[in-house]
Amino acid sequence: MNAKGLSEMLLRAARLDPPSDTVPYAFEKRMMTLLASPSRDLGASLGIAWLWRASLAGLLIMFCCGVWTLSVSKGPVSLALELEQVAYAACCEIGGDAW
C-alpha cells in the first residue's frame, strides 16, 4: 500500500473517532511537533558512533598486519606456501594424521 493511501485511511479513521474530554489541552499539537522533529535517541547514536570508531580501528589493524606480513615474507609465493602448510597441518591434526 502506498503512503498516500495509508495516510488517507488513517485520517478517515481518526475523524470517525470523536475526541475525548480526558485528552490534555493541545496534545495533538505537541504530538505532531514530536513526530516532525528528528529522533534523538542518545543511546543508539552513541552506540553507532562507537561502532564506526571500532571499524576504523579494525581497518587500521588489518592494514598494519598486511604491511607487516608482506615485509616479513619473501614474496607472495612464499606467503601462499606458508599458508598452505599451516592449513594442511591443521587438517592433519584434526584427522589424526601426523606429518
Residue 8 lies in a domain: no
- For 67, the enclosing helix (H) or strand (E) is helix 42-72
Residue 83 lies in a domain: yes
Share in percent of the chain as helix, strand, coil (round to 5): 75, 0, 25
**pLDDT per position as a tens digit, 31-77:** 888 877 776 666 677 778 888 889 999 999 999 988 887 777 666 66
Burial class (CB in 10 A: 0-12, 13-18, 19+), 15: exposed
Radius of gyration for the alpha carbons in the chain, expressed in angstroms and rounded = 31
Cα atoms in the 13 Å half-sphere on the side-chain side of 74:
4
The count of structural domains within the chain is 1
Residue 66 lies in a domain: yes
Residue 13 lies in a domain: no
Which range marks the domain in which residue 56 is found?
Answer: 45-95
Residue 40 lies in a domain: no
What's the pTM value of the predicted model, to 2 decimals? 0.37
Residue 32 lies in a domain: no
